[in-house]
Structure 1
Amino acid sequence: MPDQTGLLQRGPLRRAGTGLLAALLSCTAALSAAASAEIYRVSQEDSVIGTPFYVKTDAEHTLLDVGRHYGSGYDEMKQANPSVDMWVPGDNQDVLVPDFHVLPDAPRQGLVMNLAEKRLYYYHSATEVEVFSVGIGREGWETPVGTYSVIEKIKDPTWTPPASIRAEYEKRGETLPAVVPAGPENPLGAYAMRLSNPSYLIHGTNKPWGVGMPVSSGCTRMYPEDIEALFAKVDKGTPVRIVDQPYKIGWRGDQLFLEVNLTEEQSPASPKQVVPGKYAQADDVALDWDEVRRALQENSGLPRLVGVRQGAKSWHKLESVF
């Protein structure tokens, strides 16, 4: 059972599970562990998974520690907790864990990565999915959008930095060796999966603070414990779709949710541009355009309830969370 007041006692970080429950409307941290941790189950008609919840911080841990414990990366923890200091959150501080997502608009097969949210989805099937925070390529070294596959799996990889990266290090007065051997100094970590665009890998890292940030040279970084778990499950030939969807919209039952993930440099689109016509023009959908605008303004990275099916008794205001 996870510690409901914060992180577990000192020791290796452990994932508490993606099925944790919280009392949404009252925003309490009433958590309960799911029987099958880290796997979300969703009907083929729905596309919203998870439940956000609050935990209490302690004086010994940063917001990054809290995020890693629950599988969240830097940017999403910052986005969900804009008033909390990332490095010194303080003792007994309420911190929102953003365990709540709209699935990307992509086939539910293999691996789907959404660059806008820095998140990787692994579909066991169309109705079972695991979610991982990832680090992606920084400006000028962006991770490329496209459809690929896993062509190679490597345990304890060596790193052969390309000439472009070695030149970049030289400009900073640093010299990279031609080959970095496997071990704690290797930036690829202990596991790597090569894509059919062979310059790009999904790999671990020796700098886990970069997970959830655009800091790599194009490859995808994962927490060491996450890549180890994923590596064991993903076969060669698994499809990998990389998309860039800052606006995601989808159903959970009769409720329609909008999730917004914009960078600080991006300005939100207009509400009419964000909500597709199949929702905006449907006779059986009641939209609250004020909620759409609020989702765009807040850019919290958390799904916001913006509509319901006509006649459904499922409209709840969740301002205390969103």
Structure 2
Amino acid sequence: MFCLSQKSLAATYSLSDPDSDLIGAGYWVSVQESETLLDVARRHDIGQEEILLANPEVDRWLPPPGARVFIPGQHILPAGERKGLILNLPEMRLYYFVSAEEVVTYPVSIGRMDWKTPLGKTRIVRKQKSPSWYPPESVKKEAAASGEVIPNVVPPGPDNPLGKYALRLALPGYLIHGTNKPYGVGMRVTHGCVRLLPEDIEELYQKVSINTQVQILNQPVKIGWLDGILYLEVHPPIEEHLEARGNMMRYALEIIYQELEKHPAILIGSNVRQAIEEQNGVPVPISRKTDEPPMPINNPLFD
């Protein structure tokens, strides 16, 4: 179950069921007059790559009014300590565990391949409202190579790429912040920082505190249980993740079989294969209970 705030469509999900690893639900909406697919994504707090993967047949810039769009609003929680913030890079999604019984999730942008967002565990060391941006020399050199000039300091305002709020991490030079280019959220476009929609960073800024733990993970394949059924969620791996990119089927099966050794279930091979081929980030059931007939993928995208 979830509730929507008045400022944004970021959802707060209950974690009251200890046996469930899935939150949210996917659903269909209609494109409104003059909307792009990215307008629909922002209205439902979905990142750009997320909505494109879930709707490959819909034109990004000129979807016909009334066209049906699938909102991939269901997520398997990442495999990590359910505490503080978890960022899953391939998913380009941030999870904030408000408590042991509540989680909020937001789409994010992460670093490009040549400006990687680092993996590991860190924490928030400073909160800044209306931050100034001090571009590092590497960023200024990159801009100069393309004929641009970046000042030494960009003050708060509409031209500041950090937006109105910033959370500084213990990793030197890395922040979780807003943006003055919201339609880039949900892509690999940053210089390593984590970028949120303006309405989402405002909400997160108010919720988190100094010393909140931050885990940065690389999980293109996630698995989790719901009502005794194992689900699989597959995202395109980040470019530098050579193991997953080289053989996604083998990579995914290793994760699945490790789970089945702990919790035996009857695997539905065709569902596993289809989820890995699609890599659209939508959770699909890949097991059935011993007393049930084979279970097809209960996902409108695969109809």
Q: Normalising to structure 2: TM-score of the pair?
A: 0.90
Give secondary structure in 2 for the equivalent of 1:151. Answer: strand
* Contact 1:148 1:239 survives alignment (8 Å): yes
- Select the residue among 9, 14, 17 that pairs with 1:41: 14
* Percent of matched pairs sharing the same residue: 41
Residues 107-142 of structure 1: CA distance to partner in whole angstroms, max 9, x if unpaired?
Answer: 100000000100000001223100000000011101
Q: Which has the higher contact order (CA 8 A, sep 6+)?
A: 2
Q: What CA distance in whole angstroms lies between the structure 2 residues aligned with 1:208 and 1:75? A: 13
Is 2:274 aligned against 1:294? yes
Structure 2 letter corresponding to 1:15: S
Structure 2 letter corresponding to 1:275: I
Q: What CA distance in whole angstroms lies between the structure 1 residues aligned with 2:293 and 2:8? A: 35
1:229 aligns with 203
* Contact 1:284 1:310 survives alignment (8 Å): no
Aligned residues: 289
* Contact 1:111 1:240 survives alignment (8 Å): yes
1:170 aligns with 144
Q: Normalising to structure 1: TM-score of the pair?
A: 0.85
Q: CA 1:16 to 1:191, structure 2 compared with 1: closer, same or farther past 3 Å?
A: closer
Is 2:60 aligned against 1:58? no
Unaligned runs of 5+ in 2: 1-5, 240-244
Q: CA 1:256 to 1:283, structure 2 compared with 1: closer, same or farther past 3 Å?
A: closer
Post-superposition offset of 1:273? 2.7
Structure 2 letter corresponding to 1:223: L
Alignment of 1:1-322 (within 5 A): 15-16=8-9, 38-42=11-15, 43-263=17-237, 266=245, 268-270=248-250, 272-279=253-260, 281=261, 284-311=264-291, 315=295, 317-322=297-302
Residues 127-161 of structure 1: CA distance to partner in whole angstroms, max 9, x if unpaired?
Answer: 31000000000111010001000000000000000
Q: CA 1:290 to 1:236, structure 2 compared with 1: closer, same or farther past 3 Å?
A: same
Post-superposition offset of 1:313? 8.0
More helix by share: 2
Residues 6-46 of structure 1: CA distance to partner in whole angstroms, max 9, x if unpaired?
Answer: xxxxxxx95346xxxxxxxxxxxxxxxxxxxx111132221
1:4 aligns with none
Larger CA deviation: 147-156 vs 305-314: 305-314
Give secondary structure in 2 for the equivalent of 1:269. Answer: helix
Structure 2 letter corresponding to 1:96: F
Give secondary structure in 1 for the equivalent of 2:195. Answer: strand
